[in-house]
Amino acid sequence: MIVWKELDPGIYSVQEIDEPYGYFPDPARKEILLEGGDNKELEFFNRPRPVLIIHKRDAVTGDPLAGVKFRVQRAEGETIGDFLTDAEGRIELSPATGYLLEEAIYRVTEVTPPEQYLLSAVHIREVLLKWHEPTEVIFENLLKPTLIFIKTNGLTGRGISDATYRVEYEGANGGTSVVGTYKTKCGLIVIPYVLPGWYVLTETIPAPGYSLPANPVQRLYLSAGENSYTYEQTQTDLYVDPRTNPNSGQRGDCGEWCGYLCSRLCAGNCGNPGGGSMADGGSGNPFGNMTITNGKGETIGGGSGGNTQTDTTAPVLSAGTATRTGNLTATVTFTSSEAGRYYTAYVNSGANAPNIATGGLGTSCAAGVNTVTVYLTGGAKDLYIKVKDAAGNVSGALKIAVPAYSAQTPDPEPGAPPNFDDIVITGGTVVYLNPDPAFAGITITFGNQ
């Protein structure tokens, strides 16, 4: 607040000439008539600058993707800059990060996807930024597909090793480019993270003891993400498995793929692909007592007779707290008994609890204490949080009271301009106003004695 005293009667014109950091200036020029004995006030209001938040996620798992380059531009073409997503797959442009954006249309372009991912299907988005709410833009990427080719004996069904294939990629224009030459291992060729499209596989050298087929050429189509979300394997580590076979005490060398295909391609022998069998140890399980997982850690065979347990326990949430960090933001902590993805919704303080949709991707959270930033509107709010675990179990809603934002006067930085809050001016002095950045509104009081 600024106070002027002992002014002469007359008409005074007042205009804000320097707004608080992170706010739009009040454009109004206000006039006021002062007569003898008057005490009058003028109020100027500042709107907070818009906030733009970019999220980058895996389209299937919802996991955040770090290090992805985005370019942000005004729709008219002015480039704000190129930015990389952080460990949470997030970019924030706001006064808090040093960017004063306008209420305007901005273009957000994904420039470079992660190495193993395809560019987003919609990699350019235009958004209208508004002052009263953060604008969040979500980009999702699919992994490049993984080529999996299986060669088997037509009579026994077992995998054939050491057949040589030339693998080519067929472009949209009909031309082909050579991907490489590969030998089957236990009947398999696995090439991770290739481009989607048509592939041509030509058997050039048959496996020992075999002859080339009448038609040695096969074509295979791969769609975006195909096979890459189920198995993490490469041609070179196809038989690398540090686990010990509990029945023989020997280490296997068939890898994660053995758990999926060894009973058919390798006759169940993880230690010697292509012959013999692994005893089930009386468990009735063809994989013995060894638990086999695919590339995502999901059990696909073995362990205690092959029986698996279904997770039906929902996460339990507790100990929620909230601290306002701004009129539109709050730092929130909560504790979850399980890792998963959290979802939020908020209402005005005291209002009925909202419905929280948990069908989307949500945001990842850990088992234990989580500290997150939540974006909401001004005033006291009731925030509700739910967590969904990997099995799809959803917790009950945790209610957290979020107070209204109360600006605090910070200690002045060295060399900072003086704080003109609550000053009193006598006479007709002309003053350049530079109010404290924590205050969004300026009140000027005129008084005559």
Q: How many CB atoms lie within 10 A of CB 173?
A: 5
Query: Would you say residue 391 lies in a domain?
Result: yes
Determine the pLDDT at residue 105: 95
pLDDT-based confidence at residue 235 (cuts at 50, 70, 90) = low
Number of structural domains found in the chain: 5
The answer to whether residues 6 and 31 belong to one domain is yes
DSSP for 54-69, written as a single string? EEEEETTT--B--S-E
373 DSSP β-pair partners: 331
pLDDT of residue 448: 42
Q: Which residues, 6+ apart, have CB-to-CB distance to 398 below 8 Å?
A: 317, 318, 320, 334, 384, 385, 386
In the block, tokens 């895996």 appear at 58
Least confident piece of the model among 150-159, 212-221, 306-315, 394-403: 306-315
Does residue 35 surpass a pLDDT of 80? yes
In terms of pLDDT, which residue wins out, 310 or 430? 310
pTM of the complete model:
0.56
pLDDT in tens, 87-125: 999 999 999 999 999 999 999 999 988 888 999 888 999
151 plus 183 within the same structural domain: yes
User: What confidence score (pLDDT) does residue 411 get?
Assistant: 52
Residues 415 and 359 in one domain: no
Cβ pair 135, 103 in contact under 8 A? no
pLDDT the model gives residue 151: 86
- 237 domain-assigned: no
Distance of CA 332 to the CA centre of its chain: 18
Check residue 379 and give its pLDDT: 87
Task: Give the pLDDT confidence score for residue 289 in this predicted structure.
Answer: 31
Residue 245 has pLDDT above 80, yes or no: no
Q: What is the mean pLDDT of residues 13-35?
A: 87
Which of 141, 165, 187 terminates a domain? The answer is 141
H/E stretch holding 259 reads helix 255-265
Whether the Cβ atoms of residue 366 and residue 390 lie closer than 8 Å to each other: no
CA angle (413, 409, 7) in 5-degree steps? 105
Placement of tokens 């005291």 in the chain: 350
Give the range of the structural domain holding residue 421, as residue numbers without chain letter: 2-46+409-447
- Position 320 scores a pLDDT of 85
- How many other CB atoms are found less than 10 A from the CB of residue 348? 11
* Dihedral over Cα of 434, 437, 442, 446: its sign: negative
- Is residue 414 left, alpha or beta, with left meaning phi > 0 and alpha meaning psi from -120 to 50? beta
* Residue 44: pLDDT band with limits 50, 70, 90: confident
Are 218 and 286 found together in one domain?
no
Structure tokens at 202: 């030509």
pLDDT at 202 over 80: yes
Q: Strands 105-112 and 69-74, how do they pair? A: antiparallel
Q: C-alpha distances in angstroms, 285 versus 58, 205, 280, 281, 304? A: 35, 37, 5, 8, 8
Give 281-327 pLDDT, tens digit per residue. Answer: 333 333 333 333 333 444 433 333 333 346 789 999 998 899 998 77
Residue 239 has pLDDT above 90, yes or no: no
Q: What integer is the mean pLDDT of 35-49?
A: 87
Q: Rounded mean pLDDT of 163-177?
A: 88
- Which of 119, 141, 163 is the endpoint of a domain? 141
Q: The CATH number of the domain where 195 resides is what? A: 2.60.40.10
The answer to the question of residue 382 being in a domain is yes
Q: Which residue has the higher pLDDT, 278 or 118?
A: 118
Estimate to the nearest angstrom the gap between the alpha carbon of 129 and the chain centroid.
21
**217 with 183, same domain?**
yes
Domain membership of residue 246 (yes or no) is: no
Q: Which long-range contacts (CB under 8 A, 24 or more apart) does 35-38 make?
A: 35/9, 35/448, 36/9, 36/448, 37/448, 38/9, 38/446, 38/447, 38/448
Whole-number percent of the chain with pLDDT over 90: 35
One domain, residues 441 and 388: no
Q: Among residues 50, 20, 47, 46, which one has the least CA distance to residue 409?
A: 20
Report the distance separating Cα 382 and Cα 347, nearest Å. Answer: 5
Q: What single-letter amino acid sits at 158?
A: R
**Is residue 117 located within the same domain as residue 192?**
no
Task: Assess whether pLDDT exceeds 80 at residue 130.
Answer: yes
Q: What are phi and psi of 97, to 5 degrees?
A: -105, 10
Same domain, 156 and 133: no
* Residues paired with residue 336 on neighbouring β-strands, in sequence order: 317, 368
Per residue in 322-366, pLDDT tens?
A: 999 877 788 999 999 998 888 888 999 999 998 888 876 677 888
Average pLDDT of the segment spanning 364-392: 87
Domain boundary among 121, 141, 161: 141
**For residue 247, is it within any domain?**
no
pLDDT at 290: 32
As a whole number of angstroms, the distance between CA 87 and CA 64 comes to: 7
Q: Is residue 341 part of a domain?
A: yes
For the chain, what's the residue count?
449
**Residue 349 to residue 391: CA distance in whole angstroms:** 33
Same domain, 160 and 132: no
Q: What does the pLDDT read at residue 405? A: 86
Q: Count other Cβ atoms within 10 Å, centred on residue 206.
A: 15
Provide the mean pLDDT of the chain: 76
pLDDT score for 294: 38
Residue 251 pLDDT grade (very low, low, confident, very high; cuts 50, 70, 90): very low
Q: Which of 12-16, 31-35, 203-207, 273-277 has the lowest mean pLDDT?
A: 273-277
